[in-house]
Amino acid sequence: MERENQFIGQSGAFLDAVERASRAAPMARPVLVIGERGTGKELIAERLHRLSDRWEEPLVTMNCAALPETLIEAELFGHEQGAFTGATRAREGRFEEADRGTLFLDELGTLSMGAQERLLRAVEYGEVTRIGASRPTRVDVRIVAATNEDLPRRAEEGTFRPDLLDRLSFEVITLPPLRVREGDVEVLADYFGRRMAAELGWEQWPGFADHVAEAMENYAWPGNVRELRNVVERAVYRWDRWEQPIGEVVFDPFDSPWTPLTTSKASAKDEGAPSQEAPAKHRVSYDKIDDLRAEIDAHEKAIVEHALGANRWNQRQTAKALKLTYDQLRHCMKKHGIGQSG
């Protein structure tokens, strides 16, 4: 799995996550990577592999959400010829492909309970049995799994095996969302912008106009670094005056006055449904406030997220900085869903 993306950033929360991955890399133990979409979970998996003793062996990737449930076990463990309809020949699974290397399981939380049970056995005993086979095969595979779900909560609810969670969580690396990575939006935007300008053959890099830079700094980035890259590259590609700073940016490429009005959108509009997107750095327009409690909650959440990022997600240090008790901070985080994958 080769990635053209690199680890770009300077915020403490981000650097701490990268450092934790670097320390865990030499250990032949499972690692669980938690993070919102677009935060770089695949890059962490690659770093864990490249800095390990297995770096010359295969790094095999499987997106557990990309396959129907009926095919996941066959993909993971392989099958023998005639094991099921359509199995015209024997095929090794991803575990066998990754033997002596690393298997990266993305979207782990989508695995069925049956697949979880077989995965647990493979992790515990280092053996996999192809569908239709009578004997197991020994494999030496290091598991790196990723998800944006709250697996401890899923385990409490009975939809994820707690024993599998225990087995996979030797180390847990939680990636901070871009909205709390102070200073990284500017650094990443400049990096992606320069690269796109070079691809387009621009003679120089003009940078971004102040109002565009401010808009990007204040945007919530629900899609994190992946979304930022798309927004920046689109802005550069659409800008025709390379000798002048880029003065326009479009965050939502689907936003158009001619967008078809679907049933769900029409219902939301009629009911005045609020947006599910919470701004990262809350900017108050006092003339437009029509829900004081919601405004206060959004502002409180933004302050706590910023403080956590500034203190490298050290909760006790953050509580001290905000003059709260540790329990008060934990209550506030729970109230606003801060630190919960989703």
In DSSP notation, 258-318 reads T----HHHHHHHHHTPPPSPPPSS----GGG---HHHHHHHHHHHHHHHHHHHTTT-HHHH
| Confidence (pTM) | 0.74
For residue 293, CA distances in Å to 26, 287, 297, 298 come to 49, 15, 6, 9
pLDDT in tens, 76-106: 888 877 667 777 788 888 999 999 999 999 9
Does the domain at residues 179-238 carry the CATH identifier 1.10.8.60? yes
Q: Where are the domains of the chain?
A: 12-176, 179-238, 282-336
DSSP label of 177: P
Q: What does the angle CA 213 – CA 219 – CA 221 come to, to the nearest 5 degrees?
A: 115
| Average confidence score pLDDT of the chain | 87
**CATH number for the domain formed by residue range(s) 282-336:** 1.10.10
pLDDT score of 283 more than 90: no
Q: How far apart are CA 42 and CA 1, in angstroms?
A: 9
pLDDT in tens, 12-66: 999 999 999 999 999 999 999 999 999 999 999 999 999 999 999 999 999 999 8
Encoding tokens for residue 276?
């599910």
Q: Considering the domain 12-176, what is its CATH architecture?
A: 3-Layer(aba) Sandwich (3.40)
